[in-house]
Amino acid sequence: MARAIWNGALNFGLVTVPVELYSATQDHTIHFRQFQRGTSDRIRYRRVNERTGEEVPYDEIVKGYDLGGDEYVIIEPHELDEIAPGRSRTIDIDAFVDLEEIDPIYFQKTYWLAPAKEEFGRAYSLLIEAMARTNRAGLARFVMRGKEYIAAVRAGDGVLVLNTLLFPEDIREPRKEISKLPEVGQVRDKEVDMAVSLIESMAEEWNPEEYHDTYTERVMQLVEDKRAGRTITPAEEPREATKVVDLFEALSRSIEGRKRGDDRKSDEREKPSRAGEKSRTRGKDSKGRTTKSREKQPDLSTLTKSDLDKMARDLGVKGRSKMNRAELEKAVRDANRRQERRRAS
């Protein structure tokens, strides 16, 4: 069971609900130790006085604010404690806003709020139901581990969700930070219409279960392969950028590929039984042997990951849930070739 990392009270008007805060996410990144190449010697980091070269214990370290020109203001840890707002025990909701009005760039980290005791469950459930009906999030401030946060409290699936938000001063202005942004109006309306059509053809319901951390899986596979002494197979290189002169053509081919994919899926749904499949129209090869008519396959490079996944499922490809798009495309292409060889034999 998870442990609460903060406890206090959620205030909603005159309603107070004692709550506990739990982390809703976890880090599954693969961590490595550092070694000097060619040896088994670990690399370690120490807190070293740059003048004497001697290691300094934690209790002798103070903070310094850089004023520039090698001039610093030295701050003692207790001085920070004296001016800090203290460890807050309340989450006071000041206002409610439509959830869609919060730009995703402000979202920082997700937590769960739970009632501190079962006896507070009714008031807790009231907040979930009311927020779910209005689709609004409560904006609040609270202090955790010596730092003040602005937070959005919203209804989740049977749980109150608290998202810490960034302050406006934390958000950079893209035009000030990036020099390569294009000016507005550099694309033609015809290209925009074509891109909109492609987006609409690729529209799907959000299903997070379809997405996996394939990079971490590849890293673990690399570790296992090196441990077993197997040959490492490099991944495919990414596609080259589309040239400006080919932009409209690329969009057109993408939409055409989507249509062929949709037509193929429609044909798959209308397929007769396997017994009926055997009675399909057959042609004659150069030697007079009976052959099945070959169906033109869609351009796999124009299909989405979802389309490729469905094709892989129809072809009986195993392990597809762990594949990225490039791996799915290769698996579908290989399965199609095997199927064609079986038909030809």
Task: Check whether residue 189 and residue 323 sit in a common domain.
Answer: yes
Rounded to the nearest 10°, the torsion over CA 243, 245, 251, 254 is -60
| 176 phi and psi angles, rounded to 5 deg | -85, -25
* Confidence (pLDDT) at 182: 83
Residue 35 DSSP code = B
Per-residue pLDDT tens digits for 78-135: 887 777 665 568 898 999 999 889 999 999 999 999 999 999 999 999 999 999 999 8
- Report the CATH number that the domain containing residue 115 is assigned in CATH: 2.40.290.10
Task: Specify the number of domains making up the chain.
Answer: 2
Residue 44, domain member (yes or no): no
- Whether 309 and 193 map to the same domain: the answer is yes
The arithmetic mean of pLDDT across residues 317-340, rounded, is 80
Distances (CA, A) of 200 to 188, 242, 315: 19, 21, 27
Q: Kindly state whether residue 34 falls inside one of the protein's structural domains.
A: no
User: Which has more pLDDT, 16 or 270?
Assistant: 16
Per the structure, the complete domain to which residue 217 belongs is given by 185-199+207-270+295-345
**Tell me, what's the pLDDT at 292?**
43
Task: Judge if 126 and 100 occupy the same domain.
Answer: yes
- Domain assignment present for residue 79? The answer is no
- Taking the C-alpha atoms of residue 13 and residue 125, their distance in angstroms, rounded to an integer, is 16
Whether residue 131 is found in the same domain as residue 10? yes
Q: Across residues 32-41, what is the average pLDDT?
A: 94
Cβ atoms of residues 138 and 154 within 8 Å: yes
Alpha carbon distance 126, 10 (integer Å):
13
The per-residue pLDDT for range 186-223, each reduced to its tens digit, is: 788 888 888 888 888 888 888 888 878 888 888 888 88
Task: Say yes or no: 230 and 329 in one domain.
Answer: yes
What pLDDT does 248 receive?
73
Beta strands in 13-57 (DSSP E): 15-23
Q: Which residue has the tokens 């009311």?
A: 130
Q: What is the pLDDT of residue 66?
A: 95
219 and 262 together in one domain: yes
- Could you tell me if 222 and 338 lie in one domain? yes
Same domain, 195 and 249: yes
With contact defined as beta carbons under 8 Å apart, do 156 and 135 qualify? no
Angle at 172 between CA 168 and CA 175, to 5 degrees: 130
What is the pLDDT of the chain when averaged over all its residues? 82
The reported pLDDT for the residue numbered 289 is 46
Higher pLDDT, 218 or 265: 218
Q: Is 31 a member of any domain?
A: no
Tell me the pLDDT tens digit for each residue of 232-249: 877 777 767 666 556 677
Query: Does a structural domain hold residue 89?
Result: yes
Identify which has the larger pLDDT, 294 or 34. 34
97 and 140 both lie in a single domain = yes
Residue 35 lies in a domain: no
| Long-range contact pairs involving 123-127 (C-beta distance under 8 Å, separation at least 24) | 123/15, 123/17, 124/17, 124/19, 124/160, 126/15, 127/10, 127/12, 127/15, 127/17, 127/155, 127/160
**Are 195 and 231 in a shared domain?**
yes
Any idea which of 52-66, 74-88, 246-260, 285-299 has the lowest mean pLDDT?
A: 285-299
Tens-place pLDDT, residues 132-178? 999 899 999 888 887 889 999 999 999 999 999 999 999 999 989 98
| 159 and 220 within one domain | no
Greater pLDDT, 111 or 285: 111
Average pLDDT, stretch 11-20? Answer: 89
The CA distances from residue 301 to 147, 203, 235, 237, 307, in Å, are 48, 18, 16, 14, 11
Q: Is 33 a domain residue? A: no
The reply to whether 147 falls in a domain is yes
pTM, two decimals, is 0.62
pLDDT over threshold 80, residue 338: yes
Give the pLDDT confidence of 245-255 residue by residue, as tens digits: 566 777 787 87
**What pLDDT was estimated at residue 263?**
64
Do 304 and 331 lie in one domain? The reply is yes
- The rounded distance, in Å, linking the Cα atoms of 310 and 328 is 10
Residues 6+ apart with CB under 8 A from 64: 72, 73, 74, 75
149-158, 271-280, 300-309, 322-331: the lowest-pLDDT one: 271-280
pLDDT, position 72:
95
pLDDT at 291 (0 to 100): 46
